[in-house]
Amino acid sequence: MKNHSLFATLWDLRGNPRGCVYTEPLWGIPYNLYAPYISIYMIAIGLSEQEIGLILSISVGFQVVLALFSGVITDKLGRRLTTLIFDILSWTVPAVISAIAQNFWYFLAAGVINSVWRITHNSWTCLLVEDAREDQLVDIFTWIQIANLFVGFVAPLAGLLIGIYSLVPTVRGLYVFAAIMFTTKAVLTYLYTDETAQGKIRMQQTKDQSVFSVFGEYRGVLRDLLRAPHTLYTAGIMVIIAVTALIANNFWAIIVTQKLNIPEENLAYFPFIRSAIILIFFFLIMPRINRLHFKLPLVVGFIGFVASQALLITAPQGGYALLILSTILEACSYAVCYPLVDKLTVLTINAQERARIQSILSVGIILVTVPFGWIAGTLSAIDKDLPFILNIVLFAIGAILAYIAGQVAEKKPVIEATAA
């Protein structure tokens, strides 16, 4: 087993990559236990689909400002301290609010506070990758995905609890459990990591500057970013992934329960299937795919996403067979695309300005994503299929972008490293 590239990387991890990867299940398990039920939990409390979409769009709007300042905050406070503070604020606090939620305003408050994750995502990513070995990047990101997938094997427990205690009490309990686990994860990550070398440099460089002075330097960083087409293609692919994930995460349970008439307690079996397929794919297929240039795997992955969404919207009531096939296709596509895009994001960013470039990219992605929560909610109210037809269009665009980015990379040796 130790000869497998993934396990070899896991045993070989040291320092910050070890501290970030080993503690990740403490976030992934609680989050993924309640995540499939968020939208139907809101509906059970009394929210409409339009209100759910409005909360999503307002929350994403707040993320614009927070993402814009995430690079500055990460540079001034350091990657490690920023991650501790904003992990607790962005995950523990909203989980507590959601656990006691009574109406729209509770969920809106939780969504707005959760928007702070844009800051900790920036700092945590820097903490994870800045002192990591480049040859381990794909495997590191694969293990992050694996850590968040193991919950699929305990997810049926959530379904059983819903069958016994009903939806609302169970989800409230899951949120309380999540708050405890999120806090534990934040503290352990802090204890088992050190400030990165680049983080120390940026803290020293910015210690006598005000936040707005550091922020004023974004102009030059943005100018350099716009001159890097390979980074812009990667950003376009990131936008596609962000919007489609927003739609799938919040409206999949609605179409499955309200159109296909799948009982709520059976929803947890699909994360189980999804996790199993992704794990099999990671261990058996991804080591071979990692040897290929990224263009073909990404294009095929996006085409697989298109097929999975098409199967979802054509499934009949009670159509478990097509729904399972859709889940399998989506899982395979996820396993191909996400680690490759994560690695592309790391390797196409200037390491000396990683925090601020990630901040700018996040803002751009959010600005494009903002309307889609409301749009998807409105579309779902008209027809449960429409949000996923929109996903089909977006995934098709993603395949085109992946192909173009691959063509550019093949012509420019400087980008060949991203395919390693």
Domain residue limits at 413: 11-419
Query: pLDDT confidence of 307, banded at 50, 70, 90?
Result: very high
Query: pLDDT confidence of 379, banded at 50, 70, 90?
Result: very high
In a domain, 5, yes or no: no
Q: Over 80: is that where the pLDDT of 129 sits?
A: yes
In a domain, 2, yes or no: no
In a domain, 68, yes or no: yes
Query: What CATH number should be reported for the domain holding residue 179?
Result: 1.20.1250.20
Q: Which of 32-41, 105-114, 281-290 has the highest mean pLDDT?
A: 105-114
Q: Over 90: is that where the pLDDT of 386 sits?
A: yes
- Of the two residues 152 and 33, the one the predictor is more confident about is 33
Q: Over 90: is that where the pLDDT of 390 sits?
A: yes
- Of the two residues 77 and 3, the one the predictor is more confident about is 77
In a domain, 1, yes or no: no
pTM above 0.75, yes or no: no
Write down the pLDDT at residue 305: 96
Write down the pLDDT at residue 144: 82
- Of the two residues 112 and 14, the one the predictor is more confident about is 112
In a domain, 4, yes or no: no
Listed range (116-125, 133-142, 321-330) with the worst mean pLDDT = 133-142
Average pLDDT score over the chain: 85
Count of domains forming the chain: 1
In a domain, 3, yes or no: no
Tell me the pLDDT tens digit for each residue of 267-277.
878 877 888 89
Write down the pLDDT at residue 414: 40
* Dist. CA 211–CA 206, nearest whole Å: 9
Element (H or E) spanning 207, and its range?
A: none
- Of the two residues 98 and 281, the one the predictor is more confident about is 98
Kindly state the average pLDDT of the residues 316-325: 92
In a domain, 341, yes or no: yes
* Dist. CA 192–CA 190, nearest whole Å: 6
Query: pLDDT confidence of 335, banded at 50, 70, 90?
Result: confident
Q: Over 70: is that where the pLDDT of 141 sits?
A: yes
Write down the pLDDT at residue 199: 92
